[in-house]
A = this chain, B = another copy of it.
């Protein structure tokens, strides 16, 4: 457990046991540092975590106070308990219906998969793109066939080193976004009919990829803060002939869960013993709120079995469609798959982003972006506390821009989705994230957009819809 979380837990206990009372002023950050012999950053982070949970509230120029809200503490959802049978996946139609219903610019994007496009450095990106295009060697358009631009792959390998992960330039293959990287990985390490272990709930594009590739899925119980349960995974591997795992190990979509480093290491070792490849969807990790980027499972990979998939779409350049995979021992086979499916990735895009990575500016942008998401998370949680009926559970992630909310069992979220859309609000209902359309009382909410009064009112409206449904008996679910 991280230091700040231990401290937060300790303080939370003082509050819930009544040692600290509603309205009490908390020690100042300076006092707390002196007393606990910790850094100001750790103290601040602990207070912010407690604020996010609704236990504290900050008053400007005065410090933190015990909030009246804590009497309705926000519990986390528990680990999922999916059936342990393997299953055909049948969710694509539902996902498309929901995605298409929410594409309108005028719909409030609580169900969106994307953060606000206003948070990204478009002018700077345009400059680098134009400049690198003007200086492109025409021959490079032929030579940048897969694996892709060597300069870009070198920059990506350099960034892996920043968080203690050694990746060879030779194993990196540039793709048109992370989704292509993930699909190519899946196609490279499986054959139709194979079984793949996934999280429950899982990212819907993972479910669609499995469905389209003619694979079967086995859903593994997943903890909302610490990710896949390894004991359950081990059992599933013994029981089914699992040929690959597809996990999002950091800020999992939709849960927000992050496996602690030691758990990631254990996962890699467990799979290595059986030579099972891990497709690691790692697109949110740069959006951490703590002090450093969580290491990927790839950092512990000694046998080349982890295919770590990344992207610039969530953290630098949405819509540019630039991703990659560090494919370990599968690099050569995956490169060939890429050549036969989309041939190559856009050369000006590769060169433009490579230039931006070399010339600096990326880290400063990331710092701003993380701060925005962190603030917006606290704002969103505040709106929820204000407007949602008591009894919901929410997992509070340490990064990313999604909240996973568990409502009362009798609430049918597909109906919530339908009613919300009538009020011009999108939500992402739980069944989108499940091979068997489970999680029928869960929602994923996006806080990646400026938390304006419009957003607060949207949450209020959602709260009303849920309260109304809570009064009646929920519709029977499919």
Indicate whether A122 sits within 8 Å of B138 (C-beta atoms), given known contacts A130-B133, A180-B341, A349-B346.
Answer: yes
A125 within 8 A of B: yes
Task: Given A145-B103, A348-B319, decide whether A117 and B129 contact each other with a Cβ distance below 8 A.
Answer: no
Pairwise interchain contact A96-B141, C-beta atoms closer than 8 A: no
> Interface segment, A208-216, A221-229, A260-268, A434-442?
A208-216
* Closest chain B residue to A313, Cβ basis: B343
Q: Give Cα distance in the complex from A138 to B141, angstroms.
A: 27
Q: Are A342 and B126 in contact (CB under 8 A)?
A: no
Contact between A346 and B122, CB atoms less than 8 A apart: no
- What residues make up the interface of A, taking CB atoms closer than 8 Å to B? 92, 96, 99, 103, 105, 112, 114, 117-118, 120, 122-123, 125-127, 129-131, 133-134, 136, 138-145, 176-177, 179-180, 183, 192, 205, 208-209, 212, 214, 318-322, 336-337, 339-349, 352
Contacts of A139 in B (CB 8 A): 105, 117
Chain B residues with Cβ below 8 Å from A344 are 177, 319, 321
Contact of B347 with A320 in the complex, beta carbons under 8 Å: yes
Number of copies: 2
Contacting residues, chain B, for A322 (C-beta < 8 A): 346
Q: What is the chain B residue whose CB lies nearest that of A145?
A: B103
| 18 A/B residue pairs, CB under 8 Å, sorted by A | A96-B339, A105-B143, A117-B141, A122-B133, A126-B133, A126-B348, A130-B130, A140-B319, A176-B176, A176-B345, A177-B343, A212-B337, A319-B346, A319-B347, A320-B346, A341-B341, A346-B349, A348-B348
Q: How far, in Å, is A315 (CB) from chain B's closest CB? A: 14
Which among B133, B143, B340, B352 is the interface contact of A208 at CB below 8 angstroms?
Answer: B340
Smallest CB-CB separation from A322: which chain B residue?
Answer: B346
Q: Is the CB of A179 within 8 A of B342?
A: yes
Interface centre among A131, A176, A345 (most CB of B within 10 A): A176
Flag if B120 contacts A138 (CB, 8 Å): yes
Instruction: Decide: A134 and B138 in contact? CB cutoff 8 A.
Output: no
- 9 new A-B contacts at CB < 8 Å, known A321-B345, A342-B342: A99-B339, A125-B133, A130-B130, A130-B131, A142-B319, A177-B344, A180-B341, A192-B192, A348-B348
